[in-house]
Structures are given as C-alpha cells and as structure tokens.
Amino acid sequence: MSYIIDRRLNGKNKSSVNRQRFLRRYRKHIRRAVSESVKQRSITDLDSGSEITIPKGDISEPVFHHGPGGVNTRILPGNKEFVPGDQIQRPQGGGGGGSGSGASDSGEGMDDFTFQINRDEFLEYLFEDLELPHMVKKQLHDSGDYKLTQAGFTNEGTPERLNIIRSLRSAHARRIALSGSTRRTIRLLKAEQQQLIEQPETDERNQRLAEIEQELKTLKGKLSKLPFLDTFDLKYNNLIRTPIPSSKAVMFCVMDVSGSMTQSVKDIAKRFFLLLYLFLKRAYKQIDVVFIRHHTQAKEVDEEEFFYSRETGGTIVSSAIAMTADVIADRYPPSQWNIYVAQASDGDNWDGDSATCRELLVNRIMPLVQYYSYVEITTGEHQNLWYEYEKIRSEFPDFFAMENIESAADIYPVFRELFARREEQGV
C-alpha cells in the first residue's frame, strides 16, 4: 500500500531557523569577513551579497577519535602488483595518496568553511551598531508613516470591525427603553390578577380575570415582537490614522573634486560617501541627502552626478561650506531638521581660505548641526585646513569629528569610528 503525496508546495525554508542560529553563533567571524570584503570591493559592487569564510577549526564539532599511531590495519581495493610481505614507504603528510593514514576522521585537511550571505544580511553586518549621533525628535508631522489607532466607536463600518460587546449592550438598552411601559402594565395586571385570585369566586371576578388573561397575552406578544438586535444597535470600532512620530534629518555630503585630488583619492572619497549613503538609506528611511561638490566653486548636484561625473579645477573649500550654510538657511530650518554634514577632502586648500572655512563653520554651521564629520584622504603631511579644523574640534568635541584616511583599507574602519553607536549624551 503506497500513498503518493505532492509536498512541493509546502514551505521550503524549514532550515532558516537553524541557519539564523548558525549565523548568530559565528557573528564575530562573519563581521570580520564582511569588513575584510568591503575593503576589497569596487565602488559598484559594494551593494551585494558576500562569501564568508570561516576557518574550519573554529567551527568543528569535536568527537572522541583515534589519533595517529598504534597499529592500524586497513583493507583496500584495487591491488595491482603487491604480494604479501611487500614493504611500502610510509606516505608523508597524513592522508595523501589514499594508502596508509589510519581511520582518523580528522584527516579531512584544514580547508576553510565557506558559505554565502545575501545582500541584506551583508548590509546588516556591515552597518551593525552604527547610528547618526545626537538624533533628536524635532517635528512630528510630515512623516510618511501612519498607524491605525482605536478612537471610540461609530454606527457605521465594515463587519470585521463590529464591536460585539458594544452592539449587544446597546441592543439591551434599546429593549429596556422600548418595552418599559408595556412591562409596567404587565406588572400592574399581574398584581391585580393575584388579588382577584385570592377573592371569592363571582361572575364579575371571573370575567375580569379572563380579560386580564387576554390582555397579558397581547402584551406579551408585543414584548416578544421587539427585535433582539436591530441594525441600529450595531456599533463598530473606529480606527483613525495617526502619524508615527519620526525625526527628520538631512545629510550634507561635501566632496572636494579639485585637481589636487588624484583619481585614487577621489575614488576613496566616493567610496566613503557611497558607504554613508547606503547606510542612511538602510537605517533611516526618511532622510534627505544633499550632495555638494566643489573645486573653486561649489555646486549642488544629484546622486548620479556626485558619484560619476568628472570635473576639476582649483580648490576653495569655503565655497562649499558657504553653500551648505545657504542651503540650510534656505530649506532646512534647524528647528525642524536634524542636520548632519560629512566632508571629504585631500586637505589641500587655497592659502588663506582655511581661516575663512573655520569662521564660516563656527559661525554659520556648527550652531545648527547635530554632527559634523570630516575625513582627510592623504598620506602626506597635514596642511593648514587640518590644523584649523583641529581648533574647531577642541571647541565642539562632541559634535565635530575628524579622521584621516590613508588608503582604501581605512575607509570602513574610519566610517565605523565616525558613526559608532555611543552612549547617550545629553544634547
């Protein structure tokens, strides 16, 4: 007797819980592999899954087994020329060659254990424990998200929102209200009936009793005609949409594209911003990003142009800072917005402009922003811009951060440093 069952439509992700357990257990390894892999990636495939490699020794499940040594006898197939008594040199290095090497099950070699994680998992590990610092709730309206909340009851609605208790309660009330006078009459009649029954029997009494009987019957009929539930008793839960409070934030990405920035330096800067952009898109749905690039002049551009266009010239950093300040004044009132600025440059600036930068920053920007991060991409000496910024840092230690990137390998560690989740500090 056989039953044939088609199971193909059953769930196929039975193992996902076990897979999650596995990932959780090797979180540290995976995180290390992710940060290794992000160093090696080009700008275009930053945003995809990844192969994770864990040394086999770290994930083995031990069992008691025999070690090398002792007397091992093994039967092998495929003899060609051996005769009893032949001596064979012991093969070096354990398991090679198929002959020799006892029944040890650890002889599998020290291959690494490799597996794949998908894009979402990759980004999750990449941006784990990162956040925008000092985010505060500034204004609540205008966030796209709503949730439905209970707000009283209505007389109209869809059947699935019917509130049974309310409906029955109101039906009960209606029945009491509408039947009041009838029930009062019934009570009086019953009292009279009782009285009459106790009196001695006369024709008059009997007639009256029959009348009462008749009347009670009609009245009871009337009562029973009252509907138990009327459409008008029905009450429905009333749900209204309330906006979910969310903080509005804007990130200014300010990048130097002047002639002194070589192609590789520009590449590093772009990768830094790409990382930032991915992080913002993933962690904060409601966020505006403003891209500003500058050489001697600053220009606000869109994402496409910011990452891919080639343009070059001299360097005046203050132009970009002034522009940032203008855009803030124009479109992002600090009363409503959390404002963040990330700036990347090779530190090269037109002499005398760095002081202007500092003034602009201290007067027009630092009072308005939640956090200002500056990365300098250089392997050489720092120039005056760095030193001017250091002064700002000492003035606003919590809100101004600066880091130096020397090569592509530093991007991710520096990024983590700048946006690490920190203890709550009063703002």
Partner 1 sequence: MKRKQPISTGSEWTFELLERYDSEIAKSAQKFGLDTYPNQIEVISSEQMMDAYSSVGMPLNYHHWSFGKQFVSTQQNYQRGHMGLAYEIVINSSPCIAYLMEENTMTMQALVIAHACYGHNSFFKGNYLFQTWTNASAIIDYLLFAKHYIAKCEERHGIEEVEKLLDSCHALMNYGVNRYKRPSPISAEEEKKRQETRTEILQQQVNELWDTIPKSADADDTVERQKRFPAEPEENLLYFLEKNAPLLEPWQREVIRIVRKVAQYFYPQKQTQVMNEGWACFWHYTLLHDLYDQGLVTDGFMMEFLHSHSSVVYQPPFDSPYFSGINPYTLGYHMMQDLRRICEKPSDEDREWFPEIAGSDWQETLQDAMNNYKDESFIQQFLSPNMMRELHLFSIVDDEREKNLLVSAIHNESGFIEIRRSLAEQYNLGSREPNIQVWDVNVRGDRALTLRHFQHNNKPLGDSTDEMLKHVHRLWGFDVHLESLRGDEVMKTYHCPPPAPSDAA
- The residues of the shown chain that bind partner 1, judged by CB under 8 A, are 1-8, 10, 12-15, 17-25, 59-80, 82-90, 97-104, 106, 113-116
Phi, psi angles (nearest 5°) of residue 408: -55, -30
Nearer to partner 1, 125 or 279 (CB): 125
Here the tokens at position 201 are 């029997």
**Nearest distance, CB of residue 61 and partner 1, angstroms:** 6
**Nearest distance, CB of residue 93 and partner 1, angstroms:** 14
Query: Rounded CA gap, 423 and 222, in Å?
Result: 74
Question: Taking a C-beta distance cutoff of 8 angstroms, is the pair 35, 412 a contact?
Answer: yes
Query: Rounded CA gap, 373 and 345, in Å?
Result: 11
**Nearest distance, CB of residue 104 and partner 1, angstroms:** 6
Nearer to partner 1, 67 or 426 (CB): 67
Residues facing 253 on adjacent strands = 291, 342
Helix axis angle, 384-395 relative to 353-360, nearest 10°?
20
**Nearest distance, CB of residue 26 and partner 1, angstroms:** 8
Query: Rounded CA gap, 279 and 47, in Å?
Result: 11
Nearer to partner 1, 5 or 164 (CB): 5
Three-class SS of 327-366: HHHHHCCCCCCEEEEEEEECCCCCCCHHHHHHHHHHHHHC
Phi, psi angles (nearest 5°) of residue 42: -85, 170
Closest CA to 196 of 187, 204, 205, 188: 205
**Nearest distance, CB of residue 28 and partner 1, angstroms:** 14
Nearer to partner 1, 61 or 203 (CB): 61
Nearer to partner 1, 19 or 281 (CB): 19
User: What angle is formed at CA 383 by the lines to CA 378 and CA 388, rounded to 5 degrees?
Assistant: 120
Nearer to partner 1, 18 or 224 (CB): 18
**Nearest distance, CB of residue 78 and partner 1, angstroms:** 2
Nearer to partner 1, 75 or 136 (CB): 75
**Nearest distance, CB of residue 5 and partner 1, angstroms:** 5
